[in-house]
Amino acid sequence: MEKTCFTKYFFLSLILFAVMWIIYNIFLGRNLTIYPHSWGNKLHPTADLSNQSAANLTEQNITPIKETKHFLVSAYKDHRINGTIRIISIFRRDDVRRLYCVIGCVQHGYLVTAAEVDIHSDHFGFPYQTTDLLCKTEPKCDATNVTISNSPYTSDIPDMIFLPIRNKERKEHNFTYNFTVCISNLFGTYNNVLQFVQTLEVYKLLGIQKVVIYNTSCGPDLDKVLQYYREEGTLEIHQWPIDQFLNPSKGWKFQRDKGDLHYYGQLTTLNDCIYRNMYRSKYLLLNDIDEIIVPYQHATLELLLEDLQRQNPTVGVFLIENHIFPKTVFDDKGTFNLTQWKNVPGINIMEHIYREPVKKDVQNPSKIIMNPRQVVQTSVHSVLKKYGGTLRVPPGVSRIVHVRVPLQGRLTKEQLIVDKKLWEYQKDLVPNVDRVLNKLGIYD
């Protein structure tokens, strides 16, 4: 009998506590939200959130998630998975927890759902790693903005920082650009003006229409070059102040280079560039600032991809081998040791026509040309998740011209391979480079 009474009073106490808790939250104005995929309180039931211009809608590329060690970068509607919102993020790998999506819906207020955490498989040993947060929506939610909370309760929505949701409309043709280059990171005192100008002018001759670059910092002369190409319309610059939030590594290997995040967040910016340009560009090239993907049997990249795609219709990822042209080895005749370029900061790639041979039984690293609509996640040298096939393009068809410090420094000039491919563009390339340097006043 005593046990029955105790049980009865225990359950009555629980019910009383629950009622008091609800009343407490109502009087405090706290918004109650049931768990995933149910509609929470409509804080702004008649507001058109598509035109929201409140201070808490950010265009910044790095946004801390409150009360976590994580950061939001950007949000995109992924039409390939039923319009799920994909938030590209940076996560501390040892602090993964349950998180919630707070989604702004046109004329329906806010929807709160559980976030699916999809950590990318490549991190090179660093504590922080590129991560996708997947937020499912309801059919009646015309989602315009989104943020992440560590609680399903949304009383503090007015204080939350929201990301705009991009890629709201799907496109499969009539893209703004045929070819876009994604250059992942620019940092430190990088001031390699001559090589940068030469590279962009070669790409324009090959059919590149847009170059996207993520800029943490650079040298003063190169900054002038960046502004010039931005005003021209060739270059799109996204500020990437990762060093204000983390201690980014200047290298790719954690044991050697240390730091919080691989190579100034290279993996994150590459993935962001894919989604940012998914419906703007037919193809994307993912490579570094000192690399040029060059077709060796075709006049332009467009002709190259037409052939590759016709022969491999299901392939969406084309891997291009990297080949080193040592910056320490010069053309003996000084054919392009031009007077007007002598005092321009940086490397003159036209002087370096000697290529290192491929080591036996060693596969050269590669960079990527892709159809972004067939890619889900990428690493630096390969794609992690995709929908189509992958083709490793033979170097005789296309290779990367990479002018940099040698990897096989003990080789003599006679052991290197003469490769004058870039000289084929000299007729247009030299005057085009001269024009840019003249306009910028970089000539001495």
- pLDDT tens digits, residue range 319-335? 999 999 999 999 999 99
Average pLDDT score, the chain: 88
List residues bridging with 74 in a β-sheet.
88
Fold for the domain defined by 38-166 = Immunoglobulin-like (2.60.40)
What is the C-alpha separation between 21 and 19, in angstroms, rounded?
A: 5
**Contact by Cβ (8 Å): 261, 246:** yes
**Contact by Cβ (8 Å): 136, 84:** yes
Tell me the CATH architecture of domain 177-440: Alpha-Beta Complex (3.90)
Mean pLDDT of 251-266: 90
Q: What's the chain's Rg over C-alpha atoms?
A: 26
**More reliable by pLDDT, 69 or 31:** 69
CA–CA distances in Å: residue 88 to residues 94, 175, 221? 18, 23, 32
The answer to whether the 38-166 and 177-440 domains have the same CATH topology is: no
Percent of the chain clearing pLDDT 90 (strictly above):
75
User: In the predicted model, is pLDDT for residue 442 greater than 60?
Assistant: yes
Mean pLDDT of 80-94: 96
User: In the predicted model, is pLDDT for residue 31 greater than 90?
Assistant: no
**More reliable by pLDDT, 36 or 251:** 251
User: In the predicted model, is pLDDT for residue 52 greater than 70?
Assistant: no
pLDDT for the residue 18: 55
What is the C-alpha separation between 411 and 401, in angstroms, rounded?
A: 18
**Contact by Cβ (8 Å): 287, 403:** no
Q: What's the whole-model pTM score?
A: 0.88
- Rounded to an integer, what is the distance from CA 125 to the centroid of its chain? 19
Encode pLDDT of 176-233 as tens digits.
999 999 998 898 889 999 999 999 999 999 999 999 999 999 999 999 999 999 999 9
Confidence of residue 139 (pLDDT cuts 50, 70, 90): confident
Mean pLDDT of 259-277: 96
Angle at 360 between CA 357 and CA 365, to 5 degrees: 70
pLDDT for the residue 107: 74
**Contact by Cβ (8 Å): 417, 296:** no
Mean pLDDT of 76-100: 95
**Listed range (52-66, 182-196, 289-303) with the worst mean pLDDT:** 52-66
Confidence of residue 9 (pLDDT cuts 50, 70, 90): low
Mean pLDDT of 364-373: 96
Q: Where are the alpha helices (DSSP H) in 233-365?
A: 254-257, 266-276, 301-311
The closest alpha carbon to 89, from 271, 237, 258, belongs to 271
> Residue 114, class by beta-carbon neighbours within 10 Å (0-12 exposed, 13-18 middle, 19+ buried)?
middle
User: In the predicted model, is pLDDT for residue 249 greater than 50?
Assistant: yes
List residues bridging with 321 in a β-sheet.
366
Mean pLDDT of 255-276: 94
User: In the predicted model, is pLDDT for residue 151 greater than 70?
Assistant: yes
User: In the predicted model, is pLDDT for residue 165 greater than 70?
Assistant: yes
pLDDT for the residue 41: 36
pLDDT for the residue 44: 35
User: In the predicted model, is pLDDT for residue 49 greater than 90?
Assistant: no
pLDDT for the residue 33: 30
CA–CA distances in Å: residue 21 to residues 15, 18, 40, 69, 151? 10, 5, 17, 30, 17
The closest alpha carbon to 223, from 444, 438, 405, 442, belongs to 442
What is the C-alpha separation between 29 and 17, in angstroms, rounded?
A: 18
List residues bridging with 389 in a β-sheet.
315
Task: Locate the domains of the chain by residue range.
Answer: 38-166, 177-440
User: In the predicted model, is pLDDT for residue 317 greater than 80?
Assistant: yes
**Listed range (28-42, 70-84, 244-258, 313-327) with the worst mean pLDDT:** 28-42
Residue 162: strand, helix, or coil: strand
For 170-301, strand residue ranges (E) read 177-186, 210-215, 235-239, 281-287, 291-295
The closest alpha carbon to 368, from 324, 402, 318, 322, belongs to 318
pLDDT for the residue 42: 38
Task: Please tell me the chain's helix, strand, coil percentages from 3-state DSSP, rounded to the nearest 5.
Answer: 30, 30, 40
pLDDT for the residue 14: 57
**Contact by Cβ (8 Å): 200, 211:** yes
Confidence of residue 26 (pLDDT cuts 50, 70, 90): very low
Query: Taking the alpha carbons of 257, 261, 263, 267 in that order, is the dihedral positive or negative?
Result: positive
Mean pLDDT of 276-305: 97
pLDDT for the residue 140: 87
Query: Taking the alpha carbons of 126, 128, 130, 131 in that order, is the dihedral positive or negative?
Result: positive
**Contact by Cβ (8 Å): 371, 390:** no
